Amino acid sequence: MELPELVARLDEELRTDDFAELDASANGLQVGPDEGSVDHVAFAVDGVRETIDRALEADADLLVTHHGLSWGGFDRVTGRTYDRLEPLLANDLALYVSHLPLDGHQTLGNAAGVADVLDLEAREPFGELGPEYIGQRGRASDPYTPETLRETLAADLETGGQPVQLLEFGPDEIEDVAIVTGSGTDWLDEAVEVGADALVTGEGKQQVYHEAKEAGVHVVLAGHYATETFGVRALRSLVEEWGLETTYLECPIGL
């Protein structure tokens, strides 16, 4: 497939342009030529030297990641930035990135993947960011206890051997679950407003402990990386349906 066609398909599916004013990440094709063909696509959560090197070892033409290299542009291409860009350019490996568009996609996104693990029903967008949403909310088909919620996530997420943390301040039975993956504790107030029993995210900020305690809601911290593997894996399946060879690069970091 020609690279411009693949990029256009991904941009359309992910509504990349709709997040242009909302996201510090330069979503879409971050590194690559105007023309070129793609036979093999590698997928990873992070666009870092390890995943770039492994994509090259797999003989990929394109690396698709959730976290890319450009967050508001580059002042200088030196140091770590140079070390990551140089192998891409030297080996004609293109880089496509989808950050917030992939967090909030209601079927392929990271929050949707966590909701699948929890078997949530009656789902709806959650996590307002301007006119868009970057998460999902739903109801458990069978209520969870705080511990069974934690255990379910721990069993299915790539946590790198680290425990799933639980701030246990909500009800004994959990039915309504709100999800914003990665670093999502800023949406605790929205979770409280919509009546969620628990907010599931990746990592927390110090103040969320007392905010959750005072609000009477559970917060589950399941790992930034662990909650954000779902989107790139769903994109991999989609690209395979388009007839391309794919590779998924696991790189769990335990954070």
In the chain, beta strands by DSSP E: 28-31, 40-46, 62-67, 94-97, 120-129, 132-144, 165-167, 174-179, 198-201, 218-221, 245-248
β-bridge partners, 43: 64, 248
Residues forming the annotated binding site?
A: 66-67, 103, 224, 228
β-bridge partners, 198: 177, 218
Q: Is 47 exposed, middle or buried (0-12, 13-18, 19+ CB in 10 A)?
A: buried
Report d(CA 176, CA 81) in Å as an integer.
42
Q: What is the DSSP letter of 177?
A: E
Report d(CA 84, CA 233) in Å as an integer.
22
Residues forming the annotated binding site for a divalent metal cation?
A: 66-67, 103, 224, 228
Q: CB within 8 A of 45, min separation 6: which ones? A: 65, 66, 67, 225, 228, 229, 232, 251
Report d(CA 11, CA 139) in Å as an integer.
30
C-alpha radius of gyration, the chain, whole number: 19
